[in-house]
Structure 1
Amino acid sequence: MSQYSKVVVAIDLSEESDLVAARARAIATSAGSELHLVHVIEPLSFAYGVDIPMDFSGLQDEIQEQATGQLQRFAEKNGIAADHQHILLGRPEVEIHAVAEKISADLIVVGSHGRYGLALLMGSTANGVLHGASCDVLAVRVGS
Structure 2
Amino acid sequence: MGGERNAAHRMFEADDASRRLGMELLEAGDGAARVRMTVTDAMVNGHGIAHGGFVFTLADTAFACACNSHGPVTVAAGADITFTTSAKEGDVLTAVATERTRFGRSGVYDVTVLRGDEVVAEFRGRSRTIQRTTEG
Normalised by the length of structure 2, the TM-score is 0.29
Which structure's relative contact order is higher, taking Cα pairs within 8 Å and 6+ residues apart? Answer: 1
Normalised by the length of structure 1, the TM-score is 0.28
Asked which structure has the greater CA Rg, the reply is 1
Higher-strand-fraction structure: 2
Higher-helix-fraction structure: 1
